[in-house]
A and B are shown apart, each in its own frame.
Chain A
Amino acid sequence: MKNNSKKQYGLIAIFGLLAVFCVYVLIVGGILPHYQAKNYLKYIFSGKADLILTDSFIFEDYPYVQFRLRSDFTRNVGGSTITGDTGIKLVDLAIDKLENWENAPINDPTYFVSLARAYEAKGNLLKDKSFIAKAGEFYQKAIDISPKRQELRYIYAGNLINQGKSDEAIQLLKEAVALAPEIPHSHFYLSIALLSRGESAYDEIFTNMEFVADSGLLPQFDQTTLKNIYGKFITYYYEKRDKDKLSQVAGRMVYIDPDQSELYKKLVDYIGQTGQIPDISFKEN
């Protein structure tokens, strides 16, 4: 009997604790984060992002929503059209809320990418390259966490190019290629970075771009960039009188530049039939 009542009091204690736990979770992990997200999105969608500066409740550290909210804020600030003092205050707030965050998810590369983007936004706003360089440090931290993710190298390479460090960007993208040589995207981004070296790198770019083209994934890449790169090849190999590569490049242009595909087809056919390169007059664009 005594044992039975002890068990029943134990039951009350367990379910009492569970009820307290539920109430606590509902408030701290439900209602409060819900209103933080709601207020934040209300300001963003109504175009009143400046009101975020005065609403400190949004960034109170209820973990359920904070990472999503702070990284979303950074992204919005990065793409914002707000300039001047308010723009700078918003960027500074975005940086502060990520960088000085006690509970920052430091094992997640996305956190450092968000932070880097916030610094890039500040650099662009103030036209100050030192913030772009600071962003680079955070991209490097993201790579340190996930050293085999080539995608992080692509993003950091873009940052290095913005800093005017093309050689470092090329080195980084060569590492990306080495991680998994079969991935065409690494070859594509390496090709873009190599463009900074001018005609001396065209043969290397050509090899990389042909790898991309042979993968069959060409339609997935930015068509304007492809047109630009292969357009340069046309004039380059024409001037070098390299009929094999010119024919190969023209063959790719049939698909890359549908507006002029007939002209490129004619060029391929002409080289194929005569073994000669015809006289071509190049116009700008």
Chain B
Amino acid sequence: MKLEKVSIFGLLMLAFTSLLMATSVFFPYINGKAMFVKVIITIVSLIFFYLLCAHSTFRANISNKLQVLKKNKVFSSTTIYMGIFLISTLLAVNKLLSFWGEPERGEGFVGVFFFFFFFVFSVLLFNRKNWIWFFRLNLFAGLIMFIKAVVELVNNPGIRATAFIGNADFLALYFVFIVFSSFLIFFDSKKENNNNFSGWMLFSSISFLASIVGLFLTQTRGALLGALTGVFITFIYFAIKGKDKFIYKNITFKKASIVFIIASIAFVILFIGTRHNPFWQKIPIFGRLAQISLNDNSTGSRLYATKIGLTSINPLTNGAQKFLFGWGWENYNIAWNKNYDPKSYMFERTSLDRAHNKLVDVLVMNGLLGLLAYLSLWIFSIRAVWKMSFSAETISILFFSIAFFVQNLFVFDQISTYIPFFCLLAFIVFKTQESNEK
């Protein structure tokens, strides 16, 4: 069906979302992207509806897929989380703001729901070939992003690169996503070409190197910590699952990873012990990592934002509804103002609309039920990945899942990170369905 291909093509184009800017409106880095996602998803939803009405085979196929998906825990928990998100919106203090969002974030219920539609449509429409193309297109987008970051730094040496995303923290996560996409494409091409070197392997290698360099150009501590934790957990996975898999001659993944884990722990101890040494200041990001302390503004403001967040959902002071369903998306600022701690002024002098910790954001804006649903989607995702067969693809997904989750303990999701987030979830759903079919 031609129209189905058109809607798949539309979804594939979302790989370029992060490159878009609209300079003639408020917050150019946000609203160009937000509008693009809305346009594409609306077109896809209309085509999808038409296909459902006009083609009985398509309708039967989708109906069967949905029957199977009902039993998929990642799909169900993501859908349940969005259901609680909707209830939080309906109960929000400022319902209009919670529903429509505002230009600084481009989210609100409708903004996040469009990304959720991307998740649903990609789960229903993408086959393996489409997924591979989606990741390939992301490599192109990532390379353009990298070039822009380099140009920025050539023009203004010493700054933290922000490229088309407008914020170094989110750009860093975007580069981690490109690292993940590079892995997938590299190993997919390797498999497709029976271990012979191919153009896609070369291109993904270049993208991989560019995104690692890009990550360092952003000097973002949270993303680096996330990526390093992702690598560390991946090696734990090797140690558990790789006892009969050989990395080289008679060296198993298990043996190699135990050596790596010991070396990593030794490195962390060495780093913490010598972090005040000027040597670390010469290494990008590590210099910033070495400066982390309870007294630095970044840590202090995050700790106070968390404290204010926890106070704001205390059922004794703010009621059971806020405790269970939160204040509503985009209403963090209202909770923050009402429960403000004046001591936090020492670290943060601007008004906050996010806690800079995704879990606290979800807890404050979607309540305890929202947080449980959000955590459950991560737990089911990691569990699904852990159960998958030992492969480069599984390892890549595990790495990115951990990296994404950990880095979000220091920031929050943003318009440029929602596509990677829902893409990850949808790809996990796809992989579990694929392995079930086998």
A68 near B104 with CB under 8 A, answer yes
Task: Tell whether, in the assembled complex, residue B337 and residue A109 are in contact, meaning their CB atoms are under 8 Å apart.
Answer: yes
Q: Does A203 make an interface contact (CB < 8 A)?
A: no
Assess whether A241 is interfacial by the CB under 8 Å rule. no
Q: How far is the CB of B342 from chain A (nearest CB, A)?
A: 4
Chain B residues within an 8 Å CB radius of A18: 45, 49, 117
Give CA–CA (A204, B248) in the complex, Å.
Answer: 75
Are B341 and A12 within 8 A (Cβ)? no
Question: How far, in Å, is A16 (CB) from chain B's closest CB?
Answer: 5
Q: Are A42 and B337 in contact (CB under 8 A)?
A: no
In the bound complex, do residue A30 and residue B63 qualify as a contact, i.e. CB atoms below 8 Å apart? no
Interface of A is mostly: helix
**Using a Cβ–Cβ cut-off of 8 Å, how many residues does chain A contribute to the interface with B?**
46
Is A183 on the interface with B (CB-CB < 8 A)? Answer: yes
**Interface size classification for chain B:** 35 or more
Question: Given that A64-B101, A72-B26 are contacting pairs, would A19 and B341 also be in contact in the complex, using a CB cutoff of 8 Å?
Answer: no
Q: Which of A69, A108, A183 contacts B346 (CB 8 A)?
A: A183
Taking a contact as CB atoms under 8 Å apart, the answer to whether B26 and A41 are in contact is yes
Number of A-B contacts (CB under 8 A): 133
B contact face: mostly helix, strand, loop, or mixed: helix
Interface string of B54-90 (1 = CB under 8 A from A): 0010011011001000000000000000000000000
Shortest distance from the beta carbon of B5 to any chain A beta carbon, whole Å: 18
A64–B102 CB distance below 8 A: yes
A108-B342 in contact given A12-B53, A19-B46, A37-B26 (Cβ < 8 Å): no
What per-residue 1/0 map shows which CB atoms of B86-114 lie under 8 Å from chain A?
00000001101101111110001010001
Beta-carbon contacts under 8 Å, A173-214 to B: 179-180, 182-183, 185
Q: What's the least CB distance linking A192 to chain B, in Å? A: 17
Chain B contacts of A110 at CB under 8 A? Answer: 351
Residues of chain B within 8 A (CB-CB) of A149 are 337, 340, 342
Distance of A31 Cα from B25 Cα, bound (Å) = 12
Partner of B97 from the list A38, A105, A148, A180 (CB cut-off 8 Å) is: A105
User: Are B46 and A23 neighbours in the complex by a CB distance under 8 Å?
Assistant: yes
In the bound complex, CA of A65 to CA of B110 (Å)? 14
B26 to A68, Cβ gap below 8 A? yes
Q: Which residues of B contact A25 (CB under 8 A)?
A: 38, 42, 110, 114
- From B93, B104, B345, B346, name the one whose CB has the most chain A CB atoms within 10 angstroms: B345
Which residue on chain B has the smallest CB distance to residue A35?
A: B25
| A22:B97 contact, CB within 8 angstroms | no
How far apart are the CA atoms of A41 and B103 in the complex, in Å?
14
Q: Does any Cβ of B come within 8 Å of A107's Cβ? A: yes
Query: Given the complex of chains A and B, what is the CA–CA distance between A43 and B384 in angstroms?
Result: 54
Check if B337 sits within 8 Å of A7, measured CB to CB: no
**Which B residues form the contact surface with A (CB < 8 A)?**
22, 24-26, 31, 34-35, 38-39, 41-42, 45-46, 48-49, 52-53, 56, 59-60, 62-63, 66, 93-94, 96-97, 99-104, 108, 110, 114, 117, 333-334, 337-338, 340-343, 345-346, 349, 351
